[in-house]
Structure 1
């Protein structure tokens, strides 16, 4: 099986939390990858050797400074009552709402959804901010969030 159900997902509470609830329809569009599929996606798209963002090697594309264009703060927007993504992220990512995206916490923990769902519920995804990446199918733009409240806006290496 390629996916877990959201009920089977170890961090499902981030999508059922009373302070930031998601509709049943939106929750149905968030698909946790099964560990084997997540590991293969991570290997193919982030790092063949490193299991998480903290242990990336200098050969991994995220560690190349030239892939990152700008660093902006996301924490202020996350803590505000406004649900919009920071303007700099919206300017960097010009995808249609139906683009498939991957929110990659670490090698065995990746969520697949649509850009519109991520954009609408980005605060839920960032309850865990330990270095996750946001990538999309057939798109070069990338985001790399950190626990200090910053996000790198960049381009994946080809």
Structure 2
């Protein structure tokens, strides 16, 4: 179900001093096996496309109905700043999530991370070294966000 973070070719993102990830948080970041990642991707993201670059208008993240009102904002400015927390609009969008909510940071159908929301809030800057369209979703939750390479993100609502 899980594989070692050491097997991840870009594991250096979790070992940097800036942003520093505390060992207690690092222990809660789990890299899913490719088989489990594919299942989460199919269940939460797309059963047709394997990467965000390939989404069509049939995939929920591209649908207008999935986009939160005023849900397009910059993540890169906060990422570049000394500010440790996610942008306030992101925290507001996910306000219903408890810190123990299981979240999936989905890069593509073979690369998905599982961790608690509280850990993601503290370590988000490390994850955004992987900014090629990943989608953050919560287990059994409607709220989602997609991060784009151009420094923008879309706040989304997953369709059932």
Q: Which residue of 2 aligns with 1:75?
A: 76
Matched, 1:155 2:154: no
Q: Which residue of 1 aligns with 2:57?
A: 58
Note the C-alpha offset of 1:13: 0.8
Q: Which residue of 2 aligns with 1:45?
A: 44
Q: Which residue of 2 aligns with 1:24?
A: 23
What root-mean-square deviation, in Å, do the aligned CA atoms of Structure 1 and Structure 2 show?
0.9
Note the C-alpha offset of 1:19: 2.1
Q: Which aligned segments of 4 or more residues in structure 1 are displaced greater than 4 angstroms?
A: none
SS of residue in 2 equivalent to 1:13: helix
How does the TM-score come out when normalised to structure 2? 0.95
Contact 1:6 1:27 in 2 (8 A): no
Q: Distance in 1 between matches of 2:47 and 2:129?
A: 26
Any gaps of 5 or more consecutive residues in structure 2? none
Any gaps of 5 or more consecutive residues in structure 1? none
SS of residue in 2 equivalent to 1:20: coil
Aligned pairs, number = 157
Describe the superposition over 1:21-67 as per-residue Cα deviations: whole angstroms up to 9, x where unpaired. 21221111000000011011111111112111110122211111111
